[in-house]
């Protein structure tokens, strides 16, 4: 980037119902130097450049997807694009060059979700190569991952109590437990992969009894200092 600064990227990650979106909103609330990361919108002309740029890298996956069932959905394809192109998008958008940028469904979430759905192509060698490459990129690109969890009962109650549709809503409790366990295991495996010297700082919180407001108050000063330091040192390009 022309001014030599780098984005300070923070992902709030965790199983559905853990409180990701609420915490991401609270972290940035009232802070002009903090903003939430935008998606790469396939309906936005300027963003289609990033979609097009991703195609050569994703071509082996897209070709394999035609032959392996169950196939990736349009939503799955967008996750592939996000993970592949987000770092380029954020590095080139001026508004993300300073301060703190927060994902509430970021690259860690997308990588976990793609594996958790176990579509045909996600069990292939080509997907594993892409997944490992993306892990390396984002281990160097994310400054902090805030990982949220809660008890199974609390997660299940929150999922069923909110207005948004969800895969587990209306399903038996045994289905919900299996869903939560699968995602929790994949999050832990993914965090283990990026937890390394030079990788992101990983902060863990249990939201069973700890309110999102308290977590935001606790971590906001740390993130603000980290964002200032990242600008000064010129670190963090994925």
pLDDT tens per residue across span 74-97: 999 999 999 999 999 998 888 888
**What's the whole-number average pLDDT of the chain?**
89
pLDDT at 174 over 70: yes
What is the reported pLDDT for 167?
82
Task: Please return the burial class of 82, using the count of CB atoms within 10 Å of its CB with bins 0-12, 13-18 and 19+.
Answer: buried
Domain ranges of the chain: 8-233
pLDDT tens per residue across span 20-60: 999 999 999 988 889 999 999 888 899 999 999 999 999 99
Do residues 88 and 129 make contact, with C-beta atoms less than 8 angstroms apart?
A: no
Do residues 90 and 5 make contact, with C-beta atoms less than 8 angstroms apart?
A: no
pLDDT at 237 over 90: no
Q: Name the residue among 4, 10, 13 with its Cα closest to residue 33.
A: 10
**Which of the following CATH numbers is that of domain 8-233: 2.60.40.10, 3.30.390.10, 3.40.50.300, 1.10.150.20?**
3.40.50.300
């Amino acid at each position: 980037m022309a001014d030599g600064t780098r984005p300070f990227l923070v992902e709030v990650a965790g199983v559905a119902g853990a409180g990701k979106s609420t915490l991401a909103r609270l972290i940035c609330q009232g802070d002009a130097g903090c903003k939430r990361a935008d998606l790469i919108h396939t309906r936005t002309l300027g963003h289609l450049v990033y979609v097009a740029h991703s195609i050569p890298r994703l071509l082996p996956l897209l070709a394999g997807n035609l032959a392996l069932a169950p196939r990736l959905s349009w939503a799955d394809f967008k996750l592939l694009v996000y993970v592949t192109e987000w770092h380029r998008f954020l590095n080139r958008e001026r508004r993300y060059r300073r301060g703190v940028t927060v994902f509430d469904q970021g690259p860690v979430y997308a990588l976990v979700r793609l594996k958790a759905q176990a579509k045909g192509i996600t069990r292939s060698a080509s997907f594993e190569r892409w997944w490992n490459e993306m892990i390396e990129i984002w281990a160097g690109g994310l400054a902090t991952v805030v990982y949220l969890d809660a008890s199974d009962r609390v997660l299940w109650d929150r999922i069923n109590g909110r207005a948004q549709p969800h895969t587990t809503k209306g399903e038996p409790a045994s289905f919900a437990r299996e869903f939560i366990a699968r995602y929790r295991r994949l999050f832990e495996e993914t965090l283990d992969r990026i937890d390394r010297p030079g990788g992101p700082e990983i902060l863990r919180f249990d939201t069973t009894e700890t309110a999102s407001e308290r977590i935001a108050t606790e971590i906001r000063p740390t993130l603000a200092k980290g964002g200032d330091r990242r600008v000064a040192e010129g670190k963090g390009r994925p």
